[in-house]
């Protein structure tokens, strides 16, 4: 199967590194023109030079801070005044780790702004042009923790669950316009985020980060942690014409880690 996204425009959140960067790289390889969106300008400029341009793509970047919702709202509104996208990948950095007893109401509000409000507002802007074209792909980067909560990620568990149920509701309303909405439930991937979380867990447990990683790998039936490029393959397929009948789904990408159906 040859996936071609030639002529399509994609906006990818959190794309200066990790999973977001891998998604951007694969979308570009498949022919899409990609706008990177993150807060680290230097990393985006570096990645921009790596994006494939052999099919005449034109790539750009948009510097935003998802954790500052008021300014983000202004910046993303300005972007959509002069731009449109066919593919929107909603992805942000994760909120701080910690259990439910460690977090305050203010922590949950900040996480809600970061993970939910930014996603909904960006999607509302992108949808206007997608509906006019009768074509669009909305892909939300979520987590397996919405099915099996991780007790050290109380904020992420709670707010990403809201994103997933919102995405399902939205998928029903926009399907008639040729637009699909799908949620990807992220397992363990070899990213800076995992390394940071493992370091914190190691400190609490009094062990090394290497031991934490080894334990993590042992829990995955595939006995390894995923490579970000594998994530990019899935998202690129969901963004393609071949995935036009896949809508309103929660797709785990976790090496078989989830125990639930």
Is the residue at 13 inside a domain? yes
Q: What CATH number does the domain containing 233 carry? A: 3.40.50.720
Please list the residues that pair with 11 across neighbouring strands: 35, 88
pLDDT bracket for residue 201 (50, 70, 90): confident
pLDDT of residue 144: 96
CA distances from 30 to 1, 37, 48, 168 (A): 12, 19, 15, 27
- What mean pLDDT comes out for the span 197-208? 87
One domain, residues 197 and 241? no
Residue 229 has pLDDT above 90, yes or no: yes
Contact 28, 106 (CB under 8 A): no
Task: Provide the whole-model pTM.
Answer: 0.95
Segment 29-53, tens digit of pLDDT:
999 999 999 999 999 999 999 999 9
Q: Which residue has the tokens 């954790």?
A: 67
pLDDT of residue 194: 86
One domain, residues 65 and 155? yes
One domain, residues 249 and 130? yes
CA 247 to chain CA mean position, Å: 17
One domain, residues 160 and 202? no
One domain, residues 85 and 179? yes
Is the residue at 96 inside a domain? yes
Residue 19 has pLDDT above 90, yes or no: yes
One domain, residues 57 and 156? yes
Is the residue at 3 inside a domain? no
Kindly state the tokens that stand for 64: 């935003």
Please list the residues that pair with 220 across neighbouring strands: none
Is the residue at 205 inside a domain? yes
Dihedral of alpha carbons 187, 110, 84, 53, sign: negative
Query: Count of domains in the chain?
Result: 2
One domain, residues 45 and 170? yes
Contact 50, 74 (CB under 8 A): no
Kindly state the tokens that stand for 82: 């002069």
CA distance linking residue 139 with residue 86, whole number of Å = 11
pLDDT of residue 71: 97
Is the residue at 185 inside a domain? yes
pLDDT bracket for residue 22 (50, 70, 90): very high
13-29 burial string, b = 16+ CB within 10 Å, else e? bbbbbbbbbbbbbbbbb
Residue 197 has pLDDT above 90, yes or no: no
- What mean pLDDT comes out for the span 78-87? 98
Segment 111-123, tens digit of pLDDT:
999 999 999 999 9
Is the residue at 182 inside a domain? yes
Work out the angle between the directed axes of helices 192-205 and 209-219 (0-180°, nearest 10): 110
CA distance linking residue 28 with residue 160, whole number of Å = 27
Q: Which residue has the tokens 């007893």?
A: 101
Is the residue at 1 inside a domain? no
Contact 64, 39 (CB under 8 A): yes
- What mean pLDDT comes out for the span 211-217? 93
As a whole number of angstroms, the longest Cα–Cα distance in the chain is 56
One domain, residues 78 and 196? no
Is the residue at 260 inside a domain? no
CA distance linking residue 217 with residue 210, whole number of Å = 11
One domain, residues 53 and 129? yes
One domain, residues 76 and 179? yes
Strands of 156-261, DSSP E: 179-186, 250-253
- What mean pLDDT comes out for the span 86-110? 95
One domain, residues 133 and 180? yes
Question: The domain containing residue 114 runs over which residues?
Answer: 9-189+228-253
One domain, residues 202 and 134? no
Task: Decide which of 152 and 165 is more confident.
Answer: 165
């Amino acid at each position: 199967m040859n996936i071609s996204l030639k002529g399509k425009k994609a906006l990818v959140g959190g794309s200066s590194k990790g999973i977001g960067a891998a998604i951007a790289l694969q979308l570009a390889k498949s022919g899409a023109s990609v706008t990177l969106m993150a807060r680290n300008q230097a990393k985006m400029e570096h990645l921009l030079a790596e994006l494939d341009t052999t099919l005449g793509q034109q790539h750009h970047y948009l510097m935003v801070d998802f954790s500052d919702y008021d300014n983000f709202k202004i910046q993303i509104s300005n972007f959509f005044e002069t731009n449109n996208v066919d593919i929107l990948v909603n992805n942000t950095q994760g909120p701080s780790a910690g259990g439910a007893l460690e977090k305050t109401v203010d922590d949950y509000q900040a996480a809600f702004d970061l993970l939910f409000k930014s996603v909904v507002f960006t999607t509302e802007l992108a949808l206007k042009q997608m509906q006019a074209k009768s074509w669009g792909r909305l892909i939300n980067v979520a987590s397996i923790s919405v099915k099996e909560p991780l007790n050290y990620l109380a904020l992420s568990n709670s707010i990403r669950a809201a994103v997933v149920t919102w995405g399902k509701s939205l998928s029903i309303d926009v399907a008639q316009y040729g637009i699909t909405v799908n949620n990807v439930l992220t397992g363990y991937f070899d990213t800076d985020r995992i390394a940071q979380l493992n370091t914190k867990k190691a400190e609490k447990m009094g062990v090394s980060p290497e031991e934490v990683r080894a334990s993590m790998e042992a829990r995955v039936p595939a006995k390894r942690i995923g490579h970000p490029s594998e994530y990019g393959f899935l998202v690129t397929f969901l963004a393609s014409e071949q995935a036009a009948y896949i809508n309103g789904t929660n797709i785990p990408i976790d090496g078989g880690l989830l125990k639930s159906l």
